[in-house]
Structure 1
Amino acid sequence: MGYMGMRRTKTADDFAVARSSYGPWVLGLAFVATVASGSTFLGMPGLAYDLGFPSLWYPILYPIGIYLGMLMSAKLIKTMGDRFGNRSIPEFVGARYDSDFLRLGMTLVSFLLLFYITAQLVAAATLFQVMMGMPYIPALFFTAGVLLVYIVMGGSHADILTDAVQGLLMLSIAVAIAVMFFTGFGVEGGPTTINQRVDEMTGAGWDTFFIPGHPTFGAAWLVILLLIAHLPFGILPHLGNKFMALSNARQMRQFAMFAIIAGGILPMMALGGFVGAAVIGPGLDRPDQVIPVLFTEVFPPIVAAFLAVAIISAVLSTSDGLVVSVSQLLANDLYRKQFARNQPEEVVDRRALLIGRIGVVLALVAGIALAWNPPEYLAVLLWVGVGGIVSGLAGPVLIGSLWRRATKTAAIISFVAGVAAYGFFYLPLIDPLGFAPGPEAGEGNPFAAGGMGVIVGSIVMLVATPLTRPMPEEFVDRVFGERRSPAREA
């Protein structure tokens, strides 16, 4: 598929977004596969295994937030992306408000996606380590090497083609895990035993909703912040650029409907953590190992190997999109839009394609370096970087996609305020609400800090817009399309 993608990659635009190349079903599978990362297939079951039933707030609420945010902004990203030739979310944000400051600011903040890449590499290396006995560091290089080959070859085309196939595998395994949980497969005594063992291990059976004192699942307001933090998640650079690959904007409804249904099935992987608690019991070195260990305990090797393919699919389907997006921060948002404005288009395009491929290598090298010492919880590591990005995106993109009146000045203030609020609530030196990480990995709450950043950024956008000068109506018409008068509609 990397080779197939290479055959279709002639320009830097092909490499960056595979513009208008895929229908709603293929792209829908690719999108949900990219959303459901190694965190969904390893991190969330790890939280369930370690914390019990209150951890289900995460897989229940994150799809609601992500796909609601997608519905708010996907159509404008697609239509405006085609109209303006945008190749990335930072470029889209800059074009939406005619602001180089916003484009550059979002570009710099988006480099936090390196933490996301790191979480995927850790997930893959963990799988190889547990199921095949491969040492952790060689497993890191092996995973990065596979990604390097097919993404350097085919860019976004290879990303989407592989993700669609991987999405089918992931859906089948998520359904299988749900069946195991509800039937008690592999557990003597069935579902009742699962609940008893989880309760014995964690003290949080299925009649427990919160864990008092826990930074993420300790109270209802923390869970609400988790939901709010995920609203801009679906427009992160590696996800938002997928909308531009849709054949045409008229297919957006089909795409959204399929993505929402499939995206609601994949988080059922978290239930595997409870089955693992019943089958394996306590004692895992890291909670994120629960799914691969469960597979090797319950199934014969050939079946366990097939199931492991789905986890690898979850890791690669997110990693490849992330790597492409990070490479475009260098090739498109910095080189093409900032440093090569007055050069011939053919030269810029050729160099941007080369820089994009080099950027893939650099992103993976940085990911390996950050993944050298794995954290306790993948889901938390992932959000250390994501929280800052969603805080900056909330006002300019979510509100700016729905509100024609949104202004450039308000978007700039909202972006700065959102990112600053995330730092204020998460950094260890400034921790008024107890969100900052403690001495051990996993004690912090980047979800709540991200939720606060989204709230602050959104409120600032709503308040600042009426107080600032409107953007020219001609420009707004270019962005949203010309308004139809009542007489013309009649």
Structure 2
Amino acid sequence: MTDVQLYMWIGLALLLLITGFLGYLGYKKTKNVSDFSIAGASLGPVILGLAYAATFFSASTFIGYPGWAYQWGFSSLWIFLTLIFASPLGLIVVAKRARKLNISQKSLSLADWLGDRYNSDFIRVGTALVCLFNIFYIAAQFAAGAWIFNTLLDIPYSLALALIATLVVAYVYTGGSFADIYTDAAQAVLMAIMGVLVFVSIFWMFPGGLTEGFTTIANTLKAKDDTLVSITNSSSIVFYSVPAILGAFIIQFAFSSQPQLFNKVLALKDPKDMRKMILVYLGASVCFILVIFGGLYAAATPTVQVDEIDKAILNYVLEAFPPVVAAFLGVVVIAAAMSTTDGIFVVMSTLVANDVYRKYLVPKGIIKATEEQAEKTALRLSRITVLVVGVIAYILVLNPPPSIGMYIWIGISGVASGTLGPLLIGLFLPSLATRTAAKISLVCGVGSYILILWSGTITSTMAAGAGAVCIGVLAMILTGIFTKGNEDSTFVEEEKFVKNAK
């Protein structure tokens, strides 16, 4: 056994102990489906800010994005800027108003929130179905964790995949949202430390400080290929043109309203603490995304050899750091995969148990149950759904995807294409937020995204998602203009809506 493997096993053992303990605490606190979904809306801004950041920045941040930088050079740093500017803006724009409105709505998820906002079962169930795209997201996180086990511990990929899937499913099954948020906050601290460590390695890997170090890196990459130091790279499947870059900014803005993040906004105990939560998230985020520079460092380090771009950061850390730090990176990537995956598991189980079963099937009389029976069954369904989704996600990546980062964005873009129109227009242009407009936006957004992917007209999944989001928002606005005042308004009146949102 090598030193890296020894340290890795020790780190994993400690991570499992911490995760198991926090999962047990979550289990003790989880009494009903509200506890399972949004921790009973009882948590403070610091723990939620850390958990939001850890959920936002998944294993793709530590594996996929450095791989992009290694493969396509400086053009990939656009992802850094989208994460610094577009994503926080999305949180700031949406979070405060959405949480304040939920004081009266008491919704448990994005699908539930939109269904209540528009008083529409079509919107509620339709959004729940759209959120099934996130199975791709979960699958990509499983693949990232499996790569770590495979690369650092020499465990066969298929066995490693089973291990990471079993680990995440086990503690989400027991502790729900409490376990999700507690473990995410702890994992955020590890992720921040790793991001900073990778970034500062420039000082000993490329002597001369930041200025001379980056000059050396730029010269080395330019000698390999001029496109590696260009602001766009025609070889990149993400940042190959200015419109593709713009699409990345749009979809990162939309990402802040993803259901696994939205449920953490709903979990905040006091809406007045939203500013504190956002500041904690921003501080942690900056530390996390510094890891992307590791891909550039790897590309400019002659002794780093990479056969799969998703292994670039792993091989660089093995070269730049002592074995204990390489093992620490492995633990961090496992933590990053867990911190995002557990949140999506909670969301998807909520979609089935609360949004479809408790809020649609039971009230419509399709399934007969008293309120007490429905509550107990919903909690049981939440846990069963975790198991089912885990198995499906595992099967999806039995053959690992070519790029984890790109696989993830299939899920993100699919959800955003159908939900951002009803969400944004419902928050900021309530006079146009008619039920009909929301339905058409949902259908047009998702339909256009599937069509774009199927036709292959846009190479980047980010840009494809951005285009579909724009179509969905435009459809919402146009339909709202023609339908406002022409249908009964059985959801929140405009004046009351605006007053509550301020």
Q: TM-score, normalised by structure 1?
A: 0.91
CA offset digits 1:51-103 (Å, max 9, x no partner):
11101111211342222222222123323334222111111111111111111
Q: Is the 8 A contact 1:409 1:468 kept in 2?
A: yes
Q: Secondary structure at the match of 1:7?
A: helix
In 2, Cα distance between equivalents of 1:210 and 1:361? 42
Which consecutive residues of structure 1, in runs of 5 or more, have no partner in the other structure?
436-443
1:387 partnered with 2:413: yes
In 1, Cα distance between equivalents of 2:479 and 2:300? 53
Change (3 A) 1:351 1:201: farther
1:20 partnered with 2:67: no
**What is the deviation of 1:362?**
0.9
Q: Secondary structure at the match of 1:52?
A: helix
Q: Is the 8 A contact 1:52 1:202 kept in 2?
A: no
In 1, Cα distance between equivalents of 2:494 and 2:434? 14
Counterpart in the other structure of 1:126? 147
CA offset digits 1:342-363 (Å, max 9, x no partner):
5211111111111111111111
Q: TM-score, normalised by structure 2?
A: 0.89
Q: Is the 8 A contact 2:118 2:491 kept in 1?
A: no
**Equivalent position to 1:364, from 366, 379, 390:** 390
User: AA paired with 1:173?
Assistant: M
1:241 partnered with 2:241: no
Counterpart in the other structure of 2:198? 177
1:333 partnered with 2:348: no
Change (3 A) 1:201 1:282: farther
Counterpart in the other structure of 1:193? 216
Counterpart in the other structure of 2:450? 423
What is the root-mean-square deviation in Å for CA atoms of aligned residues? 2.1
1:376 partnered with 2:402: yes
Change (3 A) 1:226 1:81: same
Q: Is the 8 A contact 2:72 2:236 kept in 1?
A: no
Residue identity (%): 35
User: AA paired with 1:363?
Assistant: V
Counterpart in the other structure of 1:408? 435
In 2, Cα distance between equivalents of 1:278 and 1:219? 24
In 2, Cα distance between equivalents of 1:280 and 1:352? 56
**What is the deviation of 1:282?**
6.7
Greater share of residues in helix: 2
CA offset digits 1:332-391 (Å, max 9, x no partner):
122212222252111111111111111111111111100101112111101112212111
Corresponding residue pairs, total: 470
In 2, Cα distance between equivalents of 1:188 and 1:133? 33
CA offset digits 1:225-274 (Å, max 9, x no partner):
11112222111111111111101111112212322333233222110101
**Equivalent position to 2:156, from 111, 135, 149:** 135
**Equivalent position to 2:178, from 157, 164, 184:** 157
Change (3 A) 1:410 1:458: same
In 1, Cα distance between equivalents of 2:294 and 2:495? 45
Q: Is the 8 A contact 1:35 1:318 kept in 2?
A: yes
In 2, Cα distance between equivalents of 1:280 and 1:349? 59
In 1, Cα distance between equivalents of 2:136 and 2:34? 25
**What is the deviation of 1:177?**
1.7
Q: Secondary structure at the match of 2:300?
A: helix
Change (3 A) 1:364 1:63: farther
User: AA paired with 1:172?
Assistant: I
User: AA paired with 1:314?
Assistant: A
CA offset digits 1:158-177 (Å, max 9, x no partner):
00000001111111111122
1:456 partnered with 2:471: yes
**What is the deviation of 1:472?**
5.9
